[in-house]
Structure 1
Amino acid sequence: MEYDVIIIGAGSMGMSAGYYLTEAGQTVALIDSDDPPHEEGSHHGETRLIRHAYGEGGNYVPLALHAQKLWEELDEKTEERIFLKTGVLNFGAKGNVFLETVQKSAEEYQLPLDVMTAEEINNRWPGFQLDAGAVGYFERNSGVLFSENAVRAYRTLAEKNGADLYTNRSVQAIETTADQVTVKLTDGEIKGKKLLISAGKGTNQVTKLLDISLPLTPVRKTFSWFTAAEVANYTEESFPGWGHVDQESTYYGFPSIDSAGLKIGRHDAGHPLEDPGELAPFGTYSEDKQETLAFARKHFSKDIDLKEGRVCTYTNTPDEDFIIDYLPGHTNIVVACGFSGHGFKFASGIGESLARLLTDRELAVSLESFQLNRFDGYQ
């Protein structure tokens, strides 16, 4: 059998794309080195934030709004819990460029955004203890996505539509012609008309089979759950998702969902990985525990303690914007990668966009800013 589209990497973006391709009547093969959802990719850890007014750049807002619509549609199609509207508070010092961009993007796209002082924040959510100089921007329509549930839901729907999954498989070689791609596995081969590479931290391991290396840096990251004496202040009913940016660091976090504890991660810093397959366990570095705990005790509660920590991987591009484009020299191979730790919220919208791109249909939102030609050597 020759598939319409083969997908290498059936995580957040690949599984979403697989579903939307089957909805468009395409035959699809999804290949993954594990059995998604799993803890070896970038979608584990249960939850992700979705923000609409976007500090990373206003060009992301249309994609965020498109993704939000699709997440809500997925919520209606599955019994899985997909989206929880907690609202998201971005806070930091006045004059911060990230926060100013949040405000500008909200104004440009007429998004509801509450501007709050530190006193107003502390009074509304007693779980915060922010310094007097802080300012906050609260998006009431944003919230929390359940990442593993979403991947599982897309998998169920894609398989129901006829997609074939090849799990726990390793790609050994890729052969291409103008109208056919052959992916060779350890136990056979799969043929298709088009190929999507969405392999996360393993993307360059796949593209090197085509003698191409993309500007990607896998980085080891951590996130943790915390318990606090004032448990009632941090429940999903009483506390928002949030992000904090200053000149020294960027943190993000979630309320305690299903009593799991307050979840906090550091977005910047981390340790670049020479081998993305080798992740040092949580606690290997002193900052794994100390940095986030110090941050939590400063901004939330002095009576807070670490409950559990895990490691994950960001796959960063030089500018931390995504890569979604045809692979250089190939008219039937698309690559989606480099999501730099802020991509999951867009996975529904990106998957739907990839399905349109691979079937030569008009896109609902522009992907122009994610083209490879913005980097030297990929013109």
Structure 2
Amino acid sequence: MIYDVIIIGAGSMGMSAGYYLTESGQKVALVDSYDPPHDEGSHHGGTRLIRHAYGEGGNYVPLALHSQKLWEELEEKTEERIFSKTGVLNFGLKGNVFLDTVQKSAEEYNLPLEVMTAKDINTRWPGFQLQDEMIGYFEKNSGVLFSENAVRTYRALAEQNGADLYTNSRVQAIETEADQVTVKLTDDEVKGKKLLISAGKGTNQVTRLLDITLPITPVRKTFSWFKAGEETNYEEGVFPGWGHIDEDSTYYGFPSIDGTGLKIGRHDGGNPIDNPGELEPFGTFPEDEQETLSFAHKYFSEDIERKEGRVCTYTNTPDEDFIIDYLPGYENIIVACGFSGHGFKFSSGIGESLTKMLMDKKTVVSLESFRLNRFDNQ
């Protein structure tokens, strides 16, 4: 069979694209080194935040709003649990650039955003214990995405639509012609008219088969779930998703969903990964346990205790913006990578956009700021 599109990397972006492509009548092969959803990439751990008033830059807001619409459509279509409107609180010190950008993007796109003092926050959500000099911006329409369930749902729909999955399959070589791409696997080969590479931390392992190395760095990250004495303060339906930003660090977290506990992770920092196939387990480094626990005691409660810690990966670009573009020198190969720890929320919109690119159609939202040529002079 000659597929319309081969997708290498069937995680967040790849599986979403697989669904939207098959919905559009395309014949699709999805190739993954594991069996998605899995815990070897960036989509595991159960949950991800979706924010609309975007501190990373107002250019993300149209994509965030369109992605939100698509998540809600997916939930309605399947009756799977994809999104919980917990609201999201961003808090920190006054004058913080990230928080200022949140406010500016809310104003520009007329998004509901509540400005709160530390006292307001501590009163509404007794699980917080913020210092007086802090402020917060609360987005009532944002919330939590169930990441693994979303990938699982996209997979089920894509397979129903006729997609073929090549799971636990390693790419050994890629051969290209003007109108065809052949992907050689360990025990098989797949032929298609076009190729999408969305392989997360393994992206450069794939592109190097075509003598191309992209400006991305895989980074080992950790996150943990915590138990508090007053568990009811942190339950879904009571406590919001949240993010904290200061000059030295960025943290994020989730309410306790279905009794799992308060979830906290650190967004910045982390350890670069030399071998993407091997991740040191949680607890290998002192900061794995120290950082989030110290943060929890400072801003939430002294009686919080860790329940479980996990490891995941970010794939960072130098500017922490995404790469979504044609691979240099190839008119039938697109790469989507470098999502830098804040990409999952957009994967519905990006999957749809990749579908349109692969079918030579105009995307709903501009992806111009994610072009590779922005790194030409670096």
The answer for the alignment partner of 2:257 in structure 1 is 257
Secondary structure (helix, strand or coil) at the match of 1:75 reads: helix
The answer for the alignment partner of 1:128 in structure 2 is 128
The answer for the alignment partner of 1:230 in structure 2 is 230
Q: How many residues align?
A: 378
The answer for the alignment partner of 1:315 in structure 2 is 315
Give, as a single letter, the amino acid of the residue that structure 2 aligns with 1:343: G
User: 2-side partners of 1:365 and 1:178: how far apart?
Assistant: 29
Cα offset for 1:80? Answer: 2.2
Give, as a single letter, the amino acid of the residue that structure 2 aligns with 1:252: Y
**Which runs of structure 2 are paired with 1:4-153 in the superposition (5 Å)?**
4-153=4-153
Give, as a single letter, the amino acid of the residue that structure 1 aligns with 2:218: P
> Sequence identity, in percent?
80
User: 2-side partners of 1:16 and 1:291: how far apart?
Assistant: 33
Secondary structure (helix, strand or coil) at the match of 2:68 reads: helix
2:13 counterpart of 1:2: no
**Which runs of structure 2 are paired with 1:222-301 in the superposition (5 Å)?**
222-301=222-301
What whole-Å deviation, never above 9, does each CA across 1:225-262 have from its counterpart, x for those lacking one?
00000111000011000000000100000000000000
User: 2-side partners of 1:377 and 1:110: how far apart?
Assistant: 36
| Greater CA drift, 108-117 or 273-282 | 273-282
How does the TM-score come out when normalised to structure 1? 0.99
Q: Structure 1: any 5+ residue segments left out of the alignment?
A: none
Secondary structure (helix, strand or coil) at the match of 1:346 reads: helix
How does the TM-score come out when normalised to structure 2? 0.99
User: 2-side partners of 1:293 and 1:23: how far apart?
Assistant: 44
Secondary structure (helix, strand or coil) at the match of 1:66 reads: helix
Give, as a single letter, the amino acid of the residue that structure 1 aligns with 2:168: N
Cα offset for 1:200? Answer: 0.2
The answer for the alignment partner of 2:175 in structure 1 is 175
Cα offset for 1:78? Answer: 1.6
What whole-Å deviation, never above 9, does each CA across 1:47-93 have from its counterpart, x for those lacking one?
00000000000000000000000000010122421000000000000
Give, as a single letter, the amino acid of the residue that structure 2 aligns with 1:131: Q
Cα offset for 1:377? Answer: 6.2
Cα offset for 1:362? Answer: 1.2
What whole-Å deviation, never above 9, does each CA across 1:240-299 have from its counterpart, x for those lacking one?
000000001000000000000000000001001111111110001111011110000000
Cα offset for 1:376? Answer: 2.1
The answer for the alignment partner of 1:209 in structure 2 is 209
User: 2-side partners of 1:27 and 1:365: how far apart?
Assistant: 24
| Greater CA drift, 2-11 or 74-83 | 74-83
Secondary structure (helix, strand or coil) at the match of 2:239 reads: coil
The answer for the alignment partner of 2:325 in structure 1 is 325
Q: CA RMSD in A?
A: 0.7
Q: Structure 2: any 5+ residue segments left out of the alignment?
A: none
User: 2-side partners of 1:201 and 1:235: how far apart?
Assistant: 33
User: 2-side partners of 1:314 and 1:265: how far apart?
Assistant: 12
User: 1-side partners of 2:18 and 2:142: how far apart?
Assistant: 26
Secondary structure (helix, strand or coil) at the match of 2:251 reads: strand
Secondary structure (helix, strand or coil) at the match of 2:269 reads: coil
User: 2-side partners of 1:256 and 1:5: how far apart?
Assistant: 39
Secondary structure (helix, strand or coil) at the match of 1:127 reads: coil
